[in-house]
């Protein structure tokens, strides 16, 4: 692109009888360079109200439509908590066999609770939750495949107030065992056992 050289114009005042002669001044005029505008549309311009413009808009909309994926119907068979716990424990054992003892212990620390297709697991602290999240997708895939239900979700609850009750004397120990299994009272009465 060539830039034109500036033109020099000399201005000479016309002498009049009332005016005094003035000095001649030079004025420099710089012409703006000719910059060609880029052609944004290679197609001829069309009126917005013509039939061809409506057709062009429709073609543009069809070309920009996103591809709609087919919905795949994945199996959603019903299952119960016993089946879920069985596969949960098998997966934990599988991790233990591979050498991932920490993940195995996190899966076995508490029994998960089933609510519909949502599985809730209670963990003792935030660090355990972070460790569990690394293996969560693998566990979900395993459970979805073996239980034939792809609606399964896992929710992790952190309960840092998990208490372990310690038994101090015989009565406390007996009360703790009675909480776990109330049938111990029948055993005590049958054999005439004393707590002292």
| In the predicted structure, residue 142 carries a pLDDT above the cut 60 | yes
What one-character DSSP code corresponds to residue 49? Answer: T
Token pair for 69: 């994926």
- pLDDT-derived band at 34 (thresholds 50, 70, 90) equals low
Token pair for 48: 């917005």
Q: Residues 53-67: what's their mean pLDDT? A: 77
C-alpha closest to that of 123 among 138, 107, 137: 107
Dihedral of the alpha carbons of 85, 88, 92, 94, in degrees to the nearest 10: 120
Cα distances from 73 to residues 23, 31, 101, 148, in angstroms, run 94, 71, 36, 12
Least trusted range by pLDDT, from 23-32, 77-86, 167-176, 180-189: 23-32
Q: Residues 145-161: what's their mean pLDDT? A: 89
pLDDT greater at residue 167 or residue 122: 122
- Residue 143 neighbours by CB distance under 10 Å: 21
* Overall pTM > 0.75: no
Quick one: pLDDT at residue 143? Answer: 93
Distance CA 183, CA 179 (A): 10
C-alpha closest to that of 80 among 122, 120, 121, 115: 115
pLDDT greater at residue 32 or residue 134: 134
- pLDDT-derived band at 97 (thresholds 50, 70, 90) equals very high
């Amino acid at each position: 692109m060539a830039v034109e050289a500036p033109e020099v114009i000399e201005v000479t005042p016309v002498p009049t009888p009332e005016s005094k002669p003035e000095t001649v001044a030079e004025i420099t005029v710089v012409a703006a360079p000719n910059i060609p505008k880029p052609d944004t549309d290679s197609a001829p311009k069309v009126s917005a109200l013509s039939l061809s413009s409506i057709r062009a808009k429709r073609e543009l909309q069809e070309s920009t439509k996103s591809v709609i994926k087919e919905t795949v119907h994945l199996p959603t068979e019903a299952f119960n908590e016993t089946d879920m716990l069985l596969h949960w424990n098998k997966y934990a054992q599988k991790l233990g066999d591979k050498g991932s003892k920490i993940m195995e212990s996190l899966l076995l620390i508490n029994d998960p609770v089933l609510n519909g297709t949502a599985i809730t697991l209670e963990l003792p602290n935030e660090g355990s939750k972070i460790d569990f999240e690394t293996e969560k997708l693998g566990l979900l895939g395993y459970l979805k495949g073996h239980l034939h239900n792809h609606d399964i979700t896992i929710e992790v609850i952190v309960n840092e107030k998990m208490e372990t009750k310690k038994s101090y004397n015989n009565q406390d120990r007996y009360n703790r065992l009675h909480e776990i299994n109330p049938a111990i009272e029948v055993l005590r009465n049958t054999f005439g056992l004393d707590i002292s």
